[in-house]
């Protein structure tokens, strides 16, 4: 029996049989798209108001060193749902509509989080953005989700029209649909409907709510934009649009959580909020003091706002500086549900941290990879490797490697690779081993994990 999963005695029946109620929690995983590290008001950002995200944070634990596995969408989502590095499951880059600009194909043999949670009796659902495949066998209902209501593709070209390259990727399970309304409002309402429906079911549920917002094009409803401009008279038009977009998103999150409360499920629901990568600087995202933003292997592209709440389990108002990755959610949630990952994974659980226990003693290497096309990448990959206080980075394939001491230089201002040749050699050797494992071909002798 796991640390969490247990049975509570409710009553003795007249025939002497004991009746039990399972305390395994519901899981609500909220993933936003391109939300900057400081584009939340809980960090004191003065021009934005995110009361509902702040409430998740106040109710539980804030993570100040939480990293997306990649500075772009698909790879982080692949890592989160498999517990593995994205390049080990076939998604080193963004999955797109056209083959000549597509840089991933999710391994059909990879075991996804919803399939494992079903072993623990969960009903599993995804509402919103999938972005891990456009056709079978890599659509949500093929990969362990009982229910899908959302968007198969990557970005939307318009949040009201719901098209990408004039193609409609909106689905209700396997059915093509063409709903009316702003995508954020649709995903919110579909989640509310799902939560209320699940209140009638004895099974716990796993709801993966993956909003497209605030990914560009930045399209807030007009009344939200007007509100921000009135409140913030000195704000730029571009920043006002992004702030309004995020505040509209935050309102949707609040409606979803309110549905949990109204249906009596809030106290037994673990709620996670995170983003798939750093904020998009051309949209005037706020990544705080971090260097750079989305698409970059510097901290602004990788570090994301993250909070987890769980009534009665996680102490409210706590803060963790532990370094975790998106993929670490996989084993953490499996441990919550009382199931084990029988297949090899590179991630590790941080449930002990959530419950106020000691953090794991570790000095693990953490790898970040991204493959991309275009003149800057040419179908090659960029990399970063974090080991202790050291970070090795090649931000673009044609740029030289850089080395930073993150304890002394958290803003990554001074490249110290020439002054630390031994550190560079050690980290570069680890990175090469990781690249070999990710690029392994059938006739290559397997490289054992260390």
Active centre residues (catalytic):
73, 131
d(C-alpha 27, C-alpha 288), whole Å: 29
Per the DSSP assignment, residues forming a β-bridge with 62 are 307, 319
DSSP letter string, 52-111: HHHHHHHHSEEETTEE-SSSSHHHHHHHHHHSS-GGGTT-SB---SSGGG------TTPP
Long-range CB contacts (< 8 A, 24+ apart) of 134-137?
134/95, 134/97, 134/169, 137/108
d(C-alpha 333, C-alpha 318), whole Å: 19
Check residue 41 and report its DSSP letter: G
Furthest-apart CA atoms within the chain: distance in Å: 78
Which residue bears the tokens 């009553």? 11
Per the DSSP assignment, residues forming a β-bridge with 369 are 383
66: Cβ contacts below 8 Å, ≥ 6 apart: 274, 303, 304, 305, 306, 323, 324, 325, 326
């Amino acid at each position: 029996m796991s640390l969490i999963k247990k049975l509570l005695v409710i009553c003795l029946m007249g025939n002497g049989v004991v009746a039990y109620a399972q305390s395994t929690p519901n899981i609500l995983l909220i993933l936003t798209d391109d939300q900057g590290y400081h584009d939340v008001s809980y960090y004191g950002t003065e021009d934005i108001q995110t009361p509902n995200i702040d409430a998740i944070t106040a109710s539980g634990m804030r993570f100040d060193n939480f990293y997306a596995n990649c500075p772009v969408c698909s790879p982080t989502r692949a890592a989160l749902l498999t517990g593995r590095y994205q390049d080990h499951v076939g998604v080193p880059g963004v999955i797109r509509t056209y083959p000549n600009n597509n840089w991933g194909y999710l391994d059909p043999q990879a075991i996804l989080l919803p399939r494992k949670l079903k072993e623990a009796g969960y009903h599993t659902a995804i509402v919103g953005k999938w972005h891990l495949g456009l056709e079978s066998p890599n659509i949500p209902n093929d990969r362990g989700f009982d229910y899908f209501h959302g968007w198969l593709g990557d970005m939307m070209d318009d949040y009201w029209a719901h098209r990408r390259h004039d193609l409609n990727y909106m689905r209700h399970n396997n059915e093509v649909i063409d709903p009316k309304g702003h995508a954020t409002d649709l995903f919110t309402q579909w989640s509310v409907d799902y939560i209320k429906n699940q209140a009638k079911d004895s099974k716990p549920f796993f709801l993966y709510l993956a909003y497209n917002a605030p990914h560009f094009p930045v399209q807030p409803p007009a009344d939200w934009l007007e509100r921000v401009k009135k409140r913030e008279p000195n704000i730029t038009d571009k920043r006002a649009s992004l702030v309004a977009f995020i505040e509209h998103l935050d309102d949707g999150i609040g409606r979803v959580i309110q549905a949990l409360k109204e249906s009596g499920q809030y106290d037994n629901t673990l709620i996670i909020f995170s983003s798939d990568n750093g904020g998009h600087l051309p949209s005037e995202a706020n990544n705080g003091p971090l260097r750079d933003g989305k698409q970059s292997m510097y901290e602004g592209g990788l570090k994301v706002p993250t909070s987890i709440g769980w009534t009665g389990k996680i102490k409210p108002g706590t803060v963790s500086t532990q370094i975790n990755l998106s993929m670490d959610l996989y084993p953490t949630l499996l441990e919550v549900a009382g199931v084990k990952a029988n297949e090899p994974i590179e991630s590790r659980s941080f449930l002990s941290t959530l419950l106020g226990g000691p953090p794991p003693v570790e000095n693990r290497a953490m790898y970040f990879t991204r493959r991309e096309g275009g003149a800057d990448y040419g179908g090659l990959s960029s990399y970063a490797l974090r080991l202790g206080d050291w970070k090795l980075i090649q931000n673009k394939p044609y740029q030289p490697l850089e080395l930073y001491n993150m304890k002394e230089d958290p803003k990554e201002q001074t490249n110290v690779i020439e002054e630390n040749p031994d550190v560079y050699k050690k980290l570069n050797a680890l990175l090469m081993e990781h690249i070999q494992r990710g690029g392994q071909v059938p006739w290559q002798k397997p490289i054992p994990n260390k």
